[in-house]
């Protein structure tokens, strides 16, 4: 009870008194004397005024009857009330945390800093399980079925896949592998693997995800090319001579973004070596040249001829025995890098 106001109301012929109470609803803690807000288990703020009738000098029997003599006169809520007494704001907050991809504990910490009420973690998961999971799954199944139906009309399907761990290093517990179609960029498959399904070996979780993805997509689509990162286990599965899926005649390609990222990391590592720091000024240009070669080269030999040109360009040599730079002629003294 937040506070109460007692008003003796009676006449000589009446043996009962009336008390009017201002009551805070359960689950809501009002401001304390110091102005601090306690740990709220709900973001609901409500106020009730209740009327209680009691005798001036109640005997034992009248005391037991007090439980049935309290009547709610007026009630106010800061949120609309849904069916079964659920507060509308609690429901919307819990559902939208999930649907927006946010984390409950981070949002709860934000609300704590702002001294605002927040739904409890148990309420959040109850709402998620009861109202969110099934509709999301149904919508995903319907959307995926429509995407697959449209892709079945294609004779050649190129898919791109990559896995993401829930934490870095070798201590990951879950791996989620997502696969999209190259032209439409539609997601065609998502699979998650728990480390307990791989004998607690997190190293092979991405391999297990890749196998499940291929087993699900190969009977559905005419997959002719698969693009992944340079994961050795994925490469081994798609090896045209000894791989598990060699009979399907699938071409395996490596993702340029991962290759460029790996190249940048290696160049930065070399730039920390003594007497090699000069390369740091060229890292961005070298990575850009790699992207250019990957985009314009048609064959492997052409890529090598274009890529080796970076060794000449950094020495201010723009033509050599087997080729030349593709950029416009540079003015003398325009090259600022060492």
% of the chain residues with pLDDT over 90: 43
Same domain? For 130 and 55 the reply is no
Q: Within this chain, do residues 142 and 99 fall inside the same structural domain, yes or no?
A: yes
247 and 172 share one domain: yes
CA 321/CA 94 separation, integer angstroms: 67
State what percent of residues in the chain have pLDDT above 70: 75
Q: Are residues 242 and 276 in the same domain?
A: no
Residue 69 sits in the same domain as residue 122: no
Q: Which positions ≥6 away from 132 have C-beta within 8 Å?
A: 94, 95, 98, 99
187/184 Cα distance (integer angstroms): 9
Mean pLDDT within 312-336: 74
- Per the domain annotation, does 336 fall within a domain? no
**275 and 232 in a common domain:** no
pLDDT value of residue 171? 76
pLDDT of residue 188: 96
Does residue 59 fall inside a structural domain?
yes
Tens digit of each residue's pLDDT (9 = 90 or more) over 141-171: 999 999 999 999 999 999 999 998 887 766 7
In a domain, residue 216? The reply is yes
Is residue 259 within 8 Å of residue 162, measured between CB atoms?
Answer: no
In this structure, the answer to whether residues 87 and 116 fall within a common structural domain is yes
Answer yes or no: do 86 and 142 share one domain.
yes
Same domain for 190 and 233: yes
Residue 290 lies in a domain: yes
- Does residue 230 sit within a domain? yes
pLDDT of residue 44: 53
pLDDT (0 to 100) of residue 2: 40
Whether residue 110 is predicted with pLDDT greater than 90 in this model: the reply is yes
Residue 32 has pLDDT above 60, yes or no: no
pLDDT tens by residue, 114-135: 998 899 999 999 999 988 999 9
Q: Band of the pLDDT at 331, cuts 50, 70, 90?
A: low
Output the average pLDDT for the chain.
80
Which of the two residues, 74 and 113, has the higher pLDDT score? 113
Are 238 and 172 members of one domain?
yes
Q: Output the pLDDT for position 305.
A: 86
pLDDT in tens, 249-271: 999 998 999 899 999 999 999 88
pLDDT band at 278 (very low <50, low <70, confident <90, very high): confident
Is the pLDDT assigned to residue 62 strictly greater than 70? Answer: no
Last residue of a domain, one of 78, 96, 118: 78
Domain end, chosen from 120, 151, 182, is at: 151
Identify whether 200 is part of a domain: yes
103 and 165 share one domain:
no
Residue 116 in tokens: 């605002």
183 CB-near residues (< 8 Å, 6+ apart):
158
Would you state the pLDDT for residue 79?
A: 80
What pLDDT was estimated at residue 321?
A: 76
Q: Which residues contact 281 (CB under 8 A, 6 or more apart)?
A: 337, 338
Domain span at residue 283 reads 262-324
Is residue 246, in this structure, part of any structural domain at all? yes
Q: Could you give the CA distance from residue 155 to residue 153 in angstroms, rounded to a whole number?
A: 7
Query: How many structural domains comprise the chain?
Result: 4
Same domain, 246 and 169: yes
| Residue 337 located in a structural domain | no
């Amino acid at each position: 009870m937040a506070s109460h106001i007692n008003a003796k109301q009676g006449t000589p012929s009446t043996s009962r008194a009336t008390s009017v109470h201002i009551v805070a609803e359960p689950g809501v803690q009002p401001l304390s004397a110091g102005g601090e807000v306690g740990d709220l288990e709900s973001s609901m703020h409500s106020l009730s005024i209740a009327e209680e009738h009691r005798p001036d000098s109640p005997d034992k029997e009248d005391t037991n009857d007090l439980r049935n003599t309290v009547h709610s006169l007026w009630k106010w809520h800061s949120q609309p009330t849904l069916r079964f007494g659920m507060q509308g704001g609690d429901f919307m907050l819990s559902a939208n945390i999930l649907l927006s991809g946010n984390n409950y504990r981070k949002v709860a910490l934000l609300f704590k800093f702002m001294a605002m009420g927040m739904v409890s973690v148990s309420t959040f998961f109850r709402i998620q399980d009861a109202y969110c999971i099934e509709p999301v799954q149904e919508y995903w199944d319907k959307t995926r079925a429509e995407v697959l139906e449209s892709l079945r009309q294609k004779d050649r399907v190129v898919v791109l896949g990559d896995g993401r761990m829930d934490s870095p290093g070798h201590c990951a517990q879950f791996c989620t592998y997502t696969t999209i179609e190259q032209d439409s960029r539609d997601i065609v498959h998502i699979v998650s693997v728990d480390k307990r399904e791989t004998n607690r070996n997190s190293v092979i979780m991405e391999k297990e995800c890749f196998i499940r993805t291929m087993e699900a997509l190969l009977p559905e689509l005419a997959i002719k090319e698969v693009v992944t990162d340079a994961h050795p286990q994925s490469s081994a599965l798609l090896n045209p001579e000894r791989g598990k899926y060699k009979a399907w005649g699938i071409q395996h390609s490596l993702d340029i973004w991962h290759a460029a990222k790996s190249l940048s990391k290696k160049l930065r590592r070399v730039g920390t070596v003594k007497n090699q720091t000069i390369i740091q000024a060229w890292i961005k240009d070298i990575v850009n040249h790699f992207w250019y070669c990957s985009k314009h080269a048609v064959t492997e030999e052409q890529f090598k001829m274009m890529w080796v040109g970076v060794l000449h360009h950094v020495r201010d040599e723009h033509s050599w025995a087997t080729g030349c730079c593709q950029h416009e002629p540079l003015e003398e003294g325009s090259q600022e890098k060492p």
